Amino acid sequence: MASRSLGGLSGSRCGGGGGGKKSLSARNAAVERRNLITVCRFSVKTLIDRSCFETIDDSSPEFNNFAAILEQILSHRLKEISQSCRWLAHLQIPLQGQVTWFGYESPRSFWDYIRVACRKVSQNCICSIENMENVSSSRAKGRAWIRVALMEKHLSEYISTALRDFKTTRRFYDDGAIVLGEEANMLAGMLLGLNAIDFSFCLKGEGLDGNFPAVIDYTPYLKFTQSSDSISSDEEELRTLGSSGSESSTPENVGPPFIMDENSWFNKCKRVKQKYQLTLEQKGYLEELLRLRENQLSESVSQNKILLQRIEDSDLAHKLEKEQLEYIIVELQDQLKSYQSLDQLSAEVSLSQTSLDPSHSQEGDGKQDTLNLITEGKEDTPSLLGLCGSLTSVASYKSLTSLKSNDYLASPTTEMTSPGLTPS
């Protein structure tokens, strides 16, 4: 009876322990998924920030950490090789190739899932990676695929297409995997920001070595801030521990924490000093740039004033020239009118002479003398002759010169020798 009761008690305890193990396993799986997704988000942000200052390649520690994180995510709860393959490996039978009648002959990696689930992507790189000569293992091919997808800016598209093939994903992963949970959608979304980065990788480097698993470096994403209250409580705790212990252990145990704290403060001060020096250099550069721009602005303003003065001077010269031309035009019009009146007068005189009798010759001679006096009194101005020399060749000017001729005037000799006249 006692043995039976103890057996029942032990059985109940085992049952309770089984439930506790399940809950602990579920909690550990949830924490692991959350940690990987959070670290992946931090890694993507770090890559984007670093790409603003330098080119991301294989030597970048940010990329190496991101590649390790992505490899851990895609390998999370990946189904292992078949039992038949394990039995063959236990017998130390050499296995070559990828798939046989017994199942997978090499340890399965995330590349086996990617090459099946991502074949629907248009213009995919699956075949080119399969045919790479320097990459033999499945893990190395998966790492080469990550680099090629980043250079092609299609990594998010590959992951989204693979996650949509739920049947294939269930065939390769166990329950509780990241790619089967709600975190998968977050993964595809956060990888979309990497399309803005120009990556440059060499597919023959050491990063493609598939003999060693990827290890994540969590230190860049860990930050611990300790308040002043916590520091004082630590000092009190160290003091109490030192007083309760031996005398020889007191100074040795108290010293190192304070030295580490001083080093941390020294590093902080050094970083602040570097930032201050960088800020000073940027300030000097901006001041020099501002001074240069001010000089250029002053030169532009002076040149603008000179151009405006030239425009005003040219406008004034054009106005003066216009006024002079208008005055010359008016003067030419007046002189033209006077010449037209003289032409009319000469025409009338000629008509009257032809129509008069010879008895009226003396009257005609008087009128002709009067006309000659008028023409002689009207002198040609030099400005008129200089500016309008063409007027001297017109018919009116010929008529004026004809008036000066002696064709119609009686000479003194003829008058004195005339037979009709006798000296008085």
Residues 68 and 165 in one domain: yes
The answer to whether residue 169 is domain-embedded is yes
Query: Is residue 34 a contact partner of residue 178, using CB atoms and an 8 Å limit?
Result: no
Question: What is the pLDDT, as a whole number, of residue 35?
Answer: 93
Task: Quote the CA–CA distance of 230 and 233 in Å, as a whole number.
Answer: 5
The answer to whether residue 412 is domain-embedded is no
Domain C-terminal end among 328, 348, 368 = 348
Domain C-terminal end among 330, 348, 366 = 348
Query: Is residue 208 a contact partner of residue 135, using CB atoms and an 8 Å limit?
Result: yes
Q: Report the percent of the chain where pLDDT is more than 90.
A: 34
Question: What is the pLDDT, as a whole number, of residue 137?
Answer: 87
Residue 128: give its domain's CATH number: 1.20.58.900
Question: What is the pLDDT, as a whole number, of residue 225?
Answer: 62
Residues 210 and 281 in one domain: no
User: CB neighbours (10 Å) of residue 371?
Assistant: 19
Using CA atoms of 266, 270, 275, 279 in order, give the dihedral in degrees to the nearest 10.
Answer: 120
Q: In this model, does residue 77 exceed pLDDT 80?
A: yes
The answer to whether residue 251 is domain-embedded is no
The contacts of residue 225 (CB under 8 Å, 6+ apart) are none
Residue with tokens 């050499």: 94
The per-residue DSSP string of 164-180 comes to: H-HHHHHHHB-TT-GGG
Residues 321 and 187 in one domain: no
Residue with tokens 């704290």: 261
Residues 139 and 281 in one domain: no
Residues 309 and 185 in one domain: no
Amino acid at 330: V
Domain that holds residue 307: 268-348
The answer to whether residue 19 is domain-embedded is no
Query: CA 207, 159, 80: angle at the middle one, nearest 5?
Result: 70
Question: What is the pLDDT, as a whole number, of residue 310?
Answer: 94
Question: What is the pLDDT, as a whole number, of residue 353?
Answer: 77
- CB-side neighbour CA atoms (13 Å) of 352: 16
Q: Poorest-confidence range of 28-37, 339-348, 381-390, 409-418?
A: 409-418
Residues 217 and 285 in one domain: no
Q: Which residue has the higher pLDDT, 33 or 9?
A: 33
Report the SS3 class of residue 232. helix
Domain C-terminal end among 326, 348, 370 = 348
Q: How would you class 422 by CB atoms within 10 Å of its CB: exposed for 0-12, middle for 13-18, buried for 19 or more?
A: exposed
Question: What is the pLDDT, as a whole number, of residue 226?
Answer: 56
The answer to whether residue 94 is domain-embedded is no
The answer to whether residue 370 is domain-embedded is no
The answer to whether residue 304 is domain-embedded is yes
Question: What is the pLDDT, as a whole number, of residue 418?
Answer: 40
Report, in this order, helix, strand and coil percent for the chain, each rounded to 5.
75, 0, 25
Residues 194 and 124 in one domain: yes
Q: What is the mean pLDDT of the chain?
A: 74
Residues 205 and 126 in one domain: yes
Domain count, the chain: 2
Amino acid at 123: Q
Residue 311 — φ and ψ, nearest 5°?
-65, -40
The answer to whether residue 284 is domain-embedded is yes
Residues 29 and 175 in one domain: yes
Altogether, the residues listed in the chain come to a count of 424
Residues 272 and 217 in one domain: no
Query: Is residue 165 a contact partner of residue 117, using CB atoms and an 8 Å limit?
Result: yes
Kindly give the interhelix angle for 249-355 and 361-377, rounded to the nearest 10 degrees. Answer: 170
CA distances to 8, 126, 191 from 130, rounded to whole Å, are 58, 6, 24
Residues 56 and 178 in one domain: yes
Residues 298 and 153 in one domain: no
Question: What is the pLDDT, as a whole number, of residue 387?
Answer: 46
Q: Give 239-284 pLDDT, tens digit per residue.
A: 665 555 444 444 444 333 434 456 678 888 888 888 898 888 889 8
